[in-house]
Structure 1
């Protein structure tokens, strides 16, 4: 969200017509080189066809389970990453016993579908100007329908979404509009204006992807609407020293992805409205205590006014707040990440969504 990079650059992306990859009408298995899961679970990648503006694109997701024999009995968690991340956030390669969400959940009887959102990772990259949270929510809805309709060989009857940061906004919009999720978990995103301090921090975070050697040679990097984090700036996603392992930072740089400028602009439109009052299923809202982006008034979500106001954006009876201690904006990647995962299981169990025995 670098303020020095004019958002109007995103509009120029429309001049760079990047055609969608050909996509069949059916879900197709795909395990691209390098997509092996670090979770230790049994995993299969798929391309899901989605329609956006009368064009068909492919969204990649990796379905994982510890027990294929009971897959039909397992609730499935659809995992939705944030900006400048991809599916690697939930399938973390560094110390997977501690940080890998896919591993944790599959070992407890859940299936996971770990997505690369449209415009990220192995998924297709439309012009960045075409991406926003309406599109993201609609593509999530289409993927959920594939899961419920048995397009991957199993009809899933319990579908939960867990969205991180911009993925959390995606889950919120999808749950409010399409009503085909049984519950949503949202972390590292909230309602309310970003503070001047938060905005200043975000202003030093991103630059055009074309300027980063990591993305050199990628056709989508020619689209000026695709941005990425400036090398060395990803400490913004962590809490203060002592809440995370500094060995995480090289992994962050190695696995980082891009983000669309129009998606960044759309955060303002989607996170400051009461659309979430249309959600009728259980919602677990879990900021990391030391989130420097969403708790920028005090830098402590235990005391920040944003957290006190968050329940007012939901209808009575659906909202649960759980502030994850000892971590920052990258909730899963701080020392409190395991506490968060354990609470997800407790919360789902309390709402009758339990892993297969």
Structure 2
């Protein structure tokens, strides 16, 4: 029975976590990086592929900006990434789904300053009685070969390893934890008491959509998310500029030290786990945490070759809504949408997708303790 339960939990964890690290193939990281190979400067492909951002000059028709939101003017910009490596330790070739850089236009919109917080999500739940997917017991229809007693509500939780491990098998540091959900981020014994301003986590795509509908908002498209994160700047590596640590200071909650070892995070950025929102300087549009802390859902289906299809036209794509269907050849059975921004678990040793043009992906009915969202609103 124990082995069957473990197998079931492993399957669920894998369905969650093919996700934000954006693997192409398991052997893509077979050469374990050494600390001496790491750098603070990302390797890019030759000359810049970015053309200047052209912001719209229009302003919103009213001065009544929705509470907790900022105005994003929209405009024309170069979207994507020309970074060649997945990490600053030269893990090769995994960011190809973020290329080529291509030209996009988006209309103006409002965007939440921060990720949706625990207190905001709690207000939604109290008003509607909503129950998240992580709180619901999986059904026999979803998992017909799993014994009923093993169908337990829960979600994926980062579980550090006791010692260094090869980084080619992410299941080593993730566990499916029964009772883990937005109220109990690390399992039934944990709580969000005193963490009202922390981003809500363990949110599946449909949970994020339900909140957005209730709030009179929606999830951003991937293009809207990146335009906002760039803050009107052109082709910069991060939401805060081209330097990982301006004046020697981290600008986002990411992972420093030996990943994914227990107590391996040095906390040089001020945090060794998830952080409250708005702990670092906002970008030029007044948005906080557009890199690190928690991954954020967008509304777009994930397709590995979507950027290639857009770039073929050689035209500016206006208000792209993403591909018509999901497409991940390395994991074809999992229905995925795009994540953006990276999380507190992103590290120079393994995953540097806090770089503003890079992408993540997630199975739509799965969640984890490093996954949240923020919303946008039309004029």
TM category, shorter? under 0.3
Determine which structure has greater relative contact order: mean sequence separation of CA pairs < 8 Å that are 6+ residues apart, divided by chain length. 2
TM-score, length of structure 1 as denominator length: 0.27
Which structure has the greater CA radius of gyration? 2
